[in-house]
């Protein structure tokens, strides 16, 4: 399990690097999906199969498809790729790389201290039932807040997508 | 199971599935012929069964052409995605009391996850072809599959509540005395409709509607790349039928005959039913399909969830 965890972690790092450096946006998106898969395998290896499945169903299977949907509509071709290539100059890497270096140093320091996580990583398997009980027990308020946020998003989307035609068409679709 | 057993079982399962999928080419055309009052392919071999071989030879010898305007890597990978995601799901299907590859405790979620990944195949194929018919087909496919996936998952939660587990083997064992189709009839109907939409079979084949979109997302595909989409569709039908058998028709349970035969018989019955649907139902308009999904099936699956939960609570 440890091997597959670190293998997946390596794939996650490599694919995320590819996401940032691709000029064609669809290729970047495909690498991003691979990155999500490897995170899912990391969850699985760390004893959280439910979170692993949800990662694939929600992130890779739904949200990324919506991204793809938008990109398909935008029809970004070779022109956009050339523009992207122009923007990705070596100088632009300087700031983010410095910040990322600080984080890596921080992480290396924490790991070298041998924190409590290293051993407990594979000790228990979180069952789907445990997740459900936790969500509707101690974290009920968080679930309710998230649902309020989603409801607001839903109403906003409905408002934006609604046509200014008061009566619906005869087939009930609102298209006359 | 030992590694050696896996090494024998996995190619064996893939071989069986390949045979089933290619046999379905003949079965579908023959059954359609019978239901439409004509013969269907009956020239090659006894009852035309060698038509399968002829079709395979044909598809392999066709020119495998990648359009110069296509995005080559994405164009090539797209047909592989659908075949891989469907085949990988068969790993969690329990074919019999001791048969089946993986006994995953989140088996049902694994099925949902893989079926939600299948959408990439059609969406990417539509985008990479760089042709307007393909793009329209790909857009339709992704919208349709995302919408129908939502209540496909919801309709199965009643089954999960009855069995108290996401493990497909446990779900089958929970149906020992009564098949889920009785207490979860609504869930069964919703899952079946969503399953047809997920595999984009007729009458829900709007992504490839040939009367308006040439051939939809696979307009630009030829040779074995087209064959992969074709194969993926038949694998998809087999998978949905096998899942309906597992989740609602008691899996391998049945009198007299050995368990695995029962499983095969039930699955085959569902496959034939899918073909019958194709022979009888006309294709709806695209906006009708979407509003049917969101305005009828989605609320119904929520009601099913509520009622099932209430009855389980009351029965305690």
pLDDT tens string A43-100: 887 777 888 888 888 888 888 888 888 887 776 666 777 777 777 777 777 777 788 7
Contact B127 A71 (CB under 8 A): yes
Q: What is the pLDDT at residue B214?
A: 73
Q: Provide the shortest C-alpha distance from residue B225 to chain A (in Å).
A: 20
Q: Which residues of chain B lie closer than 8 angstroms to A65, CB-CB?
A: 116, 119-120, 123, 142, 145-146
Q: Provide the shortest C-alpha distance from residue B127 to chain A (in Å).
A: 6
Residue ranges of chain A whose CB lies within 8 Å of a chain B CB: 24, 26-27, 30, 33, 49-50, 52-54, 56-57, 60-62, 65-66, 68-69, 71-73, 127-128, 171-173, 175
Contact A68 B117 (CB under 8 A): no
- Region B161-166: what's the mean pLDDT? 84
Q: What is the pLDDT at residue A114?
A: 55
Question: pLDDT tens, B4-42?
Answer: 877 888 888 888 888 888 888 888 888 888 888 888 787
∠ CA A154-A156-A161, rounded to 5° = 95
Contact B149 A173 (CB under 8 A): no
B69 contacts chain A (CB < 8 A): no
Residue B60 CA to residue B74 CA, distance in Å, equals 21
The DSSP call for residue B176 is S
Question: pLDDT tens, B286-299?
Answer: 888 888 888 888 89
Q: Provide the shortest C-alpha distance from residue B256 to chain A (in Å).
A: 36
Contact A68 B135 (CB under 8 A): no
Higher pLDDT, B255 or A113: B255
Q: How confident is the model at residue A121 (pLDDT cuts 50, 70, 90)?
A: low
Question: pLDDT tens, A135-169?
Answer: 888 889 999 999 999 999 999 988 888 876 655 55
Nearest residue, CB atoms, B110 vs list A53, A69, A72: A53
Contact A54 B109 (CB under 8 A): yes
B36 contacts chain A (CB < 8 A): no
Q: What is the pLDDT at residue B1?
A: 64
Whether the CB-CB separation of B17 and B238 falls below 8 Å is answered with yes
Which helix (H) or strand (E) covers residue B76, if one does? helix B72-89
Domain locations in chain A as residue ranges: 1-88, 127-164
Higher pLDDT, B62 or A23: B62
CA distances from A174 to A156, A162, B239 (A): 18, 9, 36
Whether the CB-CB separation of B95 and B252 falls below 8 Å is answered with yes
Name, in order, each residue with C-beta under 8 angstroms of B33's C-beta and a sequence gap of 6 or more.
Answer: B39, B40, B41
**DSSP collapsed to 3 states, chain A:** CHHHHHHHHHHHHHHHHHHHHCCCHHHHHHHHHHHHHHHHHHHHHCCCHHHHHHHHHHHHHHHHHHHHHHHHHHCCCHHHHHHHHHHCCHHHHHHHHHHHHHHHHHHHHHHHCCCCHHHHCCCCCCCHHHHHHHHHCCCHHHHHHHHHHHHHHHHHHHHHHCCCCCCCCCCCCCCC
Higher pLDDT, B63 or A85: B63
Maximum alpha-carbon separation in chain A: 69
Contact B127 A26 (CB under 8 A): yes
Q: What is the pLDDT at residue A50?
A: 84
- Region B139-165: what's the mean pLDDT? 85
Contact A53 B149 (CB under 8 A): no
Q: Provide the shortest C-alpha distance from residue A69 to chain B (in Å).
A: 7
Whether the CB-CB separation of B37 and B29 falls below 8 Å is answered with no
Residue B89 CA to residue B71 CA, distance in Å, equals 28
Q: Provide the shortest C-alpha distance from residue A14 to chain B (in Å).
A: 19
Instruction: For B134, name the nearest residue in chain A, comparing CA atoms only.
Output: A72
Closest by CA position to B43, among listed B56, B52, B34: B52
B291 contacts chain A (CB < 8 A): yes
Question: Which residue of B74, B107, B117, B128 to mutate against A (max A Cβ within 10 Å)?
Answer: B117
Q: What is the pLDDT at residue A112?
A: 66
Nearest residue, CB atoms, B146 vs list A33, A65, A71: A65
Residue A119 has pLDDT above 50, yes or no: no
Domain A1-88: CATH class, spelled out: mainly alpha
Question: pLDDT tens, B184-236?
Answer: 888 898 898 888 888 877 777 776 766 777 777 777 787 788 888 888 888 88
Q: What is the pLDDT at residue A146?
A: 92
Nearest residue, CB atoms, A65 vs list B109, B142, B291: B142
Instruction: For A40, name the nearest residue in chain B, comparing CA atoms only.
Output: B113
Residue B34 CA to residue B71 CA, distance in Å, equals 42
Q: What is the pLDDT at residue A145?
A: 93
Question: pLDDT tens, B304-314?
Answer: 889 988 888 88
The DSSP call for residue B295 is I
DSSP sequence for B231-259? HHHHHHHHHHHHHHHHHHS-TT--SSS-H
Interface A-B: count of C-beta contacts within 8 A: 83
Whether the CB-CB separation of B76 and B65 falls below 8 Å is answered with no
The tokens of A85 are what? 């290539």
Q: Which residues of chain B lie closer than 8 angstroms to A71, CB-CB?
A: 127
Residue A116 has pLDDT above 50, yes or no: no
Q: Which long-range contacts (CB under 8 A, 24 or more apart) does B69-74 make?
A: B69/B130, B69/B131, B70/B128, B70/B129, B70/B130, B70/B220, B71/A24, B71/A26, B71/B127, B71/B128, B71/B130, B73/A27, B74/A26, B74/A27, B74/A30, B74/B124, B74/B127, B74/B128
Assign B147 to helix, strand or coil.
helix
CA atoms within 13 A on the CB side of A72: 30
Q: Which residues of chain B lie closer than 8 angstroms to A66, CB-CB?
A: 146
């Amino acid at each position: 399990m440890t091997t597959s965890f670190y293998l997946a972690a390596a794939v996650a790092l490599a694919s995320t690097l590819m996401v940032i450096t691709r000029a064609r946006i669809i290729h970047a998106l495909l690498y991003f999906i691979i990155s999500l898969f490897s995170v899912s395998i990391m969850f699985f290896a760390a004893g959280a199969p439910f979170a692993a499945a949800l990662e694939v169903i929600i992130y890779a299977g739904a949200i990324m498809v919506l991204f793809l949907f938008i990109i398909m509509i935008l029809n970004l071709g070779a022109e956009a790729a050339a523009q992207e290539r122009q923007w990705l100059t070596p100088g632009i890497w300087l700031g983010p790389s410095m910040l990322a270096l600080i984080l890596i140093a921080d992480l290396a320091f924490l790991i070298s201290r041998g924190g409590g996580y290293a051993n407990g990583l594979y000790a228990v398997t979180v069952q789907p039932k445990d997740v459900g009980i936790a969500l509707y027990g101690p974290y009920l308020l968080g679930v309710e807040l998230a649902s309020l946020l989603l409801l607001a998003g839903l109403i906003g989307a409905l408002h934006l997508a609604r046509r200014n035609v008061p009566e619906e068409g005869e087939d009930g679709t609102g298209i006359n | 199971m030992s590694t050696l057993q896996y090494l024998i079982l996995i190619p064996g399962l893939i071989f069986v599935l390949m045979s089933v999928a290619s046999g379905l080419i003949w079965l579908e055309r023959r059954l359609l012929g019978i239901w439409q009052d004509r013969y269907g392919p009956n020239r090659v071999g006894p009852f035309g069964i060698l038509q399968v071989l002829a079709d395979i030879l044909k598809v392999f010898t066709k020119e495998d052409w990648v359009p110069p305007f296509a995005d080559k890597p994405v164009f090539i990978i797209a047909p592989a995605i659908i075949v891989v995601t469907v085949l990988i799901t068969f790993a969690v299907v329990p074919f019999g009391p001791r048969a089946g590859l993986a006994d995953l405790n989140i088996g049902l979620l694994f099925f949902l996850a893989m079926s939600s990944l299948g959408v990439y195949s059609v969406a990417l194929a539509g985008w990479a072809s760089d042709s307007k018919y393909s793009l329209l087909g790909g857009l339709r496919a992704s919208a349709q599959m995302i919408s129908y996936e939502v209540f496909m998952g919801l309709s199965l939660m009643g089954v999960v509540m009855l069995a108290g587990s996401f493990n497909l083997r446990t779900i089958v064992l929970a149906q020992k005395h009564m098949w889920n189709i009785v207490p979860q009839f609504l869930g069964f109907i919703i899952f079946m409709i969503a399953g047809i939409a997920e595999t984009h079979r007729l009458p829900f084949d709007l992504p490839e509607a040939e009367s308006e979109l040439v051939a939809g997302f696979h307009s630009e595909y030829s040779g074995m790349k087209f064959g992969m989409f074709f194969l993926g569709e038949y694998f998809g039908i087999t998978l949905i039928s096998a899942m309906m058998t597992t989740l609602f028709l008691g899996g391998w349970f049945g009198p007299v005959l050995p368990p695995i035969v029962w499983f095969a018989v039930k699955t085959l019955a569902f496959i034939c039913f899918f073909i019958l649907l194709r022979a009888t139902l006309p294709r709806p308009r695209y906006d009708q399909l979407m509003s049917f999904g969101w305005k009828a099936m989605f609320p119904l699956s929520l009601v099913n969830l509520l009622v099932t939960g209430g009855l389980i609570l009351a029965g305690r």
